[in-house]
Chain A
């Protein structure tokens, strides 16, 4: 929902793909209620829509929805995969009602996981945003040489598997002989334990995430910057604004929607951080004080870790879903407030 809201915001509409002055009676009006959120063409036979979405819906119900719904059922059982009749059968499994959930809400690992997840999200979001916007500002410059080269190379980290680079990062972050500690040592910093120390380990994960996404987000910000009309810079520079002032008073405000957008996408992605902490911690329980236990790792550890409590794992999954929904709702409300504030 939240992303739709961004798309519908006035700023995006201004430079959207649709022709600016359209005689078409079907041109969507800005008032959302009137257009019922429908951007399409009423004259086409809508019934075709069912046929068109059918393959997706059918496949998705079987391979996307069914497993998730079934997990929801499992969450109400003390589900031992090896105890019952096997397969998808619930025979031989004990129905326990809300017991898994009651127990889960008293499980301090849940709160640790929530805390870790948000901490990692924080450290991977804000420094990254500064880096990305900074890079975008440099990339935007008209006199930049070899534009395409720079843009392309910044996207390289994004195409590779977390698994492949995880071993490399593990070595770089080594406590005694890792390069990063060696470099820090040159500046007189004592060796840091990037796995055991809670804050340092979160920063290590955030670094891996930032490495992967900074270039990608820089391109998104770049695209948004390029869409800011030249006239704004023109008049700003006529008013004698310095480069920094232009950036501060023209570029940044123009990026507001994109910043919101990347924040939203980043939040949903951040709530699902899994591979990086798993590989750095080396265990599914996230280390001795669960310092690297994120929400999705907690799900994985409950269902597949030492205890194999699938029902409990499914309950964790449902709690995660609820958290994601709450966060998305907050996102949505904040975005709408911003958008409507702008329209005034």
Chain B
């Protein structure tokens, strides 16, 4: 008997626990709403959330962060297949191709219309004319009025604000709009002025008067020139520096994606079909990107450090490498990881002109429970005004081309980067880019070619030949791996 009672008690306790946790927020007169968001990193920025709370006090944002792969892979797949999910999910560009092929998992944002809640918030009243206080004081103590969002906006009506090639990354195969772009990861070259001076590539005076970046940009209009400059740099290094593993660029592997993204096609050709046509075997761009990377490797201009490793952070501080290919969002990374190097960095333009790496779309999964609230938030959060703020605080580059001409972008100079006009440099690069058709298995193909380069660059032994991997062997292996992936 005792056991039975106890077991029953336990069952009830378990039930109560479960229920206690799963009870949704009770609806009150003010109809509070909780928007659940799946994201990674700082895609959803805390200061802006505070501002949104001012114009939408009824909204609570419940945020869950995961690593990119589990988030955009496992978690979103299992959510969609079991017909549930968050109100908003962040989809990174590398997964854009995959999710574009499953539009049924997302709400077509062309069908959404922003509500009229708080339409007049920026004028100091809500929609009924009652006064609201929307003054936000930022961390520096500066006061600003939180912008509002107009009513009846659909994805179609906000489309003209955004960079066309960037917008395409959030369009589903059936032409539905599944995601709105956040920032754009324009790619340029970040370099250490002090190390460049030491190597005699620029003079201290040029650094001081701010022409060093132009001098360097002119030295490397193409990738082969870039590698040449790298060789010159390496020639000036002392034997001790070389032994300590110093190099011109942090990691030559990054060149691959940079070159590839400068083309018009990657692994898929837009042949008018939804899926596109796989062209990873025939697209010459890929081989060019591959060969350029391995040329840089042969020229021995890179360090052996992997990006985003703990070594990398340390190397950034110690001046182990003089350059890195830096997407706009990486500027903030450098500031955070190497604050002591303030002023020693500068930004030059990318060889071959313009590049892109990274970026995210905000989506509303089709099984979201609070679609309206989610759309109101997205439309506000990704509107030009808010993107501008994020740019000012974090350097994330806006995907809304309508503000590139704004003086606070155009004339923005970053003291951390030797007062480089980063706004101008990055906006010039990204407007040169063309849309690239993103296919379903993009991510896997990227990884397979990346692994192929890794095999050669790390000097690993090929088990079949008992010798280090050659470029040709590794290329063939990558193609074979991709054949497996795409079968």
Using CB atoms and an 8 Å cutoff, list the residues of chain A in contact with chain B: 55, 81-82, 86-87, 103, 107, 170-171, 174-178, 191, 193, 195-198, 283-285, 287-291, 304-308
Contact = CB atoms under 8 A, between A and B. Distances in A.
A284 B451 contact: no
B305 interface: yes
Contacts of B458: 193, 196-197, 288
A51 to B, nearest CB: 11
Contacts of B305: 175-176
A230 B406 CA distance: 88
Given A82-B80, A177-B314, A307-B444, A196 B460 contact: yes
A308 B303 CA distance: 34
A306 B455 contact: no
Given A87-B82, A305-B73, A307-B441, 12 more contacts: A82-B104, A174-B309, A174-B311, A176-B314, A176-B320, A196-B458, A288-B450, A288-B453, A289-B454, A289-B455, A304-B74, A306-B447
B324 to A, nearest CB: 15
A287 B70 CA distance: 17
B83 A283 contact: no
A6 B311 CA distance: 47
A307 B452 CA distance: 17
8 contacts: A82-B105, A87-B83, A107-B484, A174-B310, A176-B314, A178-B311, A289-B454, A290-B451
A166 to B, nearest CB: 12
Contact of A306 (B81, B245, B443): B443
Contact of A191 (B245, B441, B443, B487): B245
A194 B245 CA distance: 16
B78 interface: yes
A171 B312 CA distance: 11
A196 B7 CA distance: 52
Contacts of A171: 310
Contacts of A287: 451, 454
Contacts of A308: 73, 77, 98
Contacts of A285: 447, 451
Contacts of A176: 245, 303-305, 311, 314-315, 320
In the A-B complex, the 10 residue pairs with the smallest Cβ-Cβ separation, listed nearest first, are A288-B454, A306-B444, A288-B451, A176-B311, A196-B458, A81-B81, A177-B314, A174-B311, A304-B74, A171-B310
Contacts of B77: 81-82, 304, 308
B69 interface: yes
A170 B458 CA distance: 19
Interface centre among A86, A285, A306, by most B CB within 10 Å? A306
Nearest to B73: A304
Contacts of A81: 77-78, 80-81
B102 interface: yes
A105 B484 CA distance: 13
A4 B335 CA distance: 60
Contacts of A86: 80-83
A82 B315 contact: no
Contacts of A284: 69
B485 interface: yes
A137 B314 CA distance: 42
A234 B485 CA distance: 66
B306 interface: yes
Contact of B81 (A82, A174, A175): A82
A291 B447 CA distance: 15
Contacts of A87: 81-83
A321 to B, nearest CB: 21
Contacts of A197: 458, 460
B311 A307 contact: no
A177 B311 contact: yes
Nearest to A291: B460
A181 to B, nearest CB: 10
A176 B80 CA distance: 42
Nearest to B69: A284
Contact of A288 (B83, B245, B315, B460): B460
A193 B304 contact: yes
Nearest to B95: A306
A288 B455 contact: yes
A287 to B, nearest CB: 7
B310 A177 contact: yes
B102 A82 contact: yes
B424 to A, nearest CB: 35
Contacts of A170: 309-310
Contacts of B80: 81-82, 86
A2 B300 CA distance: 54
Contacts of A305: 69, 73, 444
Contacts of B447: 283, 285, 306
Contacts of A304: 69-70, 73-74, 77
Contact of A196 (B315, B452, B454): B454
B67 to A, nearest CB: 10
A82 B73 CA distance: 12
Contact of A195 (B306, B320, B455, B487): B306
Contacts of B82: 86-87
A196 B450 CA distance: 13
Given A176-B305, A191-B245, A288 B452 contact: yes
Contacts of B443: 306
B173 to A, nearest CB: 12
A322 to B, nearest CB: 21
A87 B485 CA distance: 24
Contacts of B303: 176
Contacts of B304: 175-176, 193
